[in-house]
């Protein structure tokens, strides 16, 4: 066995498909967001970041920074162990209280990332339910798919946001069988939103449990930033609401909220919770400060919605193929992995604009795109600059301005259920 050759070939095949990933070496500077310093070998220059999931700039908010630094000074850096071994740091107790209140649930449980929370909670809940059938939306995130897989239970994948298909599968399973419906509120690559209330109606009708990933909505939607379920007045209709502390809240960590019993069961049985060191106190305190701020302040949310809409309007008016999106996410279709990479290279080298190319398996082949995430700190002049840069890149590389959507492309099938996304 030539071990080395196996890994080399794996990388070569990625490169052949033009989806080998290179990360920009960036240094964010407090107070300058969304500008950052880009290091390219020996040279450094300032670039504008248009693809961050620190959607509201909370990662540099003075209250959040202060909460983290003072907590680290008072309590040190690490958590000192798993919660089973070392107990719970008080800031984590406060954070879980804040999260339960945010989603108006009895309990919350914090994990070291959103990925871990999905993997641990979905797999544990499904395993505990006898003969459980998981019904998983076709476009669910890789972390949810990891949970579905690791549960080892039976699964059916329903066509993305297709209520009829979901109902068909629920009906076939029958009222008596345990069923867990797992889906997202905001789908992060297309920016569309699940019909949450109708899914909850189906869950009631067929006696199923519901689990929603609100990772791309928490902090950003609803009067207190609890997400789309809050905005739509359906938080109490979903059994488990999962979220991250790493995107709009600008810190790190993931969580679930739900009733006391189900959260206690996950706490007691999930290896992804039990056997890994807890979130450190500084991060917990920073996340709490961020959530508390966004509960009370609408300014960031309104700024994000305004600038995202403006970006969509201005790019569309320039004839760029902005994909339909109901949210703050602005996808622009390239529909070719090589051109997608070339476009982002050129944006960075020529226009000082940083946008990562989004390729398979994060999105289906043929739907490669730029995923732009405007926030409250992307001002009008920056949007103009972005538009001019994109038009230049589209013209120079000969990318089609005619791509209007992906409806004419073959449905992606359950691609993401077979490949690890990222
Ligand atoms: C990013 C993401 C996660 C994982 O959250 P992290 O806190 O980054 O681990 C889960 N679900 C979705 C839909 C995501 O986009």
DSSP assignment string, 87-130: ---HHHHHHHHHHHHHHT-SEEEEES-HHHHHHHHHHHHHHHST
- Probe ligand 1: pick from 51, 59, 115, 249, max atoms within 8 Å of CB? 115
Query: What is the Cβ-side half-sphere exposure of residue 115, based on CA atoms within 13 angstroms?
Result: 7
Pairing mode, strands 43-49 and 35-40? antiparallel
C-alpha of residue 110 to centroid of ligand 1, in Å:
14
Task: Give the bridge partners for 354, in sequence order.
Answer: 49
CA distance 211 to 136: 10
DSSP-assigned letters across all residues of 167-214: HHHHHHH-SSS-EEEEEESB-TTT--B--HHHHHHHHHHHT-EEEEE-
CB atoms within 10 A of CB 41: 6
> pLDDT value at position 48?
98
Cβ distance 134 to 154 under 8 Å? yes
pLDDT, mean of each 10-residue run, the chain (422 residues): 96 91 92 95 94 97 98 97 94 98 98 98 98 97 97 98 98 98 97 98 98 98 98 98 98 98 98 97 98 98 98 97 96 95 96 94 92 98 98 97 58 40 35
- Ligand 1 center from residue 243 Cα (angstroms): 8
Report CA(152)–ligand 1 centroid distance (Å): 22
- pLDDT at 404 (0 to 100): 57
Distance between CA atoms of 387 and 407, rounded to whole angstroms? 25
Strand partners, 45: 38
Give the global pTM: 0.94
Give the pLDDT confidence score for residue 41 in this predicted structure.
84
Residues with CB under 6 A from ligand 1: 113-115, 118, 141, 143, 184, 188, 213, 215-216, 244, 246, 254
Q: Which residues belong to the active site? A: 247
Q: Give residue 17's pLDDT.
A: 86
């Amino acid at each position: 066995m030539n071990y080395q050759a196996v890994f080399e070939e794996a990388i070569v095949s990625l490169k052949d498909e033009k989806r080998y990933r290179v990360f920009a070496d960036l240094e964010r500077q407090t107070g300058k967001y969304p500008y950052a310093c880009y290091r390219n070998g020996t040279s450094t220059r300032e670039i504008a970041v248009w693809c961050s999931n620190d959607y509201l700039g909370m990662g540099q908010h003075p209250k959040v920074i202060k909460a983290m630094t003072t907590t680290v000074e008072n309590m040190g850096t690490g958590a000192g162990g798993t919660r089973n071994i070392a107990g719970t740091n008080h800031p984590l107790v406060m954070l879980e209280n804040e999260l339960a209140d945010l989603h108006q649930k009895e309990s919350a449980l914090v994990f070291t990332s959103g990925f871990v929370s999905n993997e641990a909670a979905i797999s544990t809940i499904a395993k505990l339910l006898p003969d459980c059938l998981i019904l998983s939306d076709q476009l669910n995130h890789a972390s949810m798919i990891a949970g579905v897989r690791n549960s080892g239970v039976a699964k059916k994948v329903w066509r993305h946001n297709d209520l009829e298909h979901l109902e068909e599968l629920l009906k076939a399973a029958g009222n008596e069988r345990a069923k867990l419906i797992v889906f997202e509120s905001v789908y992060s690559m297309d920016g569309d939103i699940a019909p949450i209330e109708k899914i909850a109606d189906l869950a009631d009708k067929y006696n199923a449990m519901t689990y929603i990933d609100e990772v791309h909505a928490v902090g950003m939607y609803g009067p207190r930033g609890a997400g789309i379920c809050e905005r739509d007045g359906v938080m109490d209709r979903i059994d488990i609401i999962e979220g991250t502390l790493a995107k709009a809240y600008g810190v790190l960590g993931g969580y679930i909220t739900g009733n006391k019993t189900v959260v206690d069961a996950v706490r007691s049985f999930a290896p992804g919770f039990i056997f890994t060191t807890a979130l450190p106190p500084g991060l917990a305190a920073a996340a709490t400060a961020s959530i508390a701020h966004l509960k009370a302040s609408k300014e960031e949310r309104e700024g994000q919605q305004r600038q995202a809409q403006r970006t969509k309007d201005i790019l569309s008016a320039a004839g760029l193929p902005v994909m339909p999106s109901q949210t703050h996410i602005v996808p622009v279709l390239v529909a070719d992995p090589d051109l997608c990479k070339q476009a982002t290279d050129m944006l960075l080298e020529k226009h000082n604009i940083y946008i990562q190319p989004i390729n398979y398996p994060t999105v289906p082949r043929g739907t490669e795109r730029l995923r732009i995430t405007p926030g409250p700190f992307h001002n009008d002049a920056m949007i103009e600059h972005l538009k001019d840069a994109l038009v230049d890149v589209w013209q120079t590389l000969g990318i089609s301005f005619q791509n209007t959507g992906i409806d004419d492309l073959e449905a992606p099938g359950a691609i993401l259920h077979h490949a690890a996304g990222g």
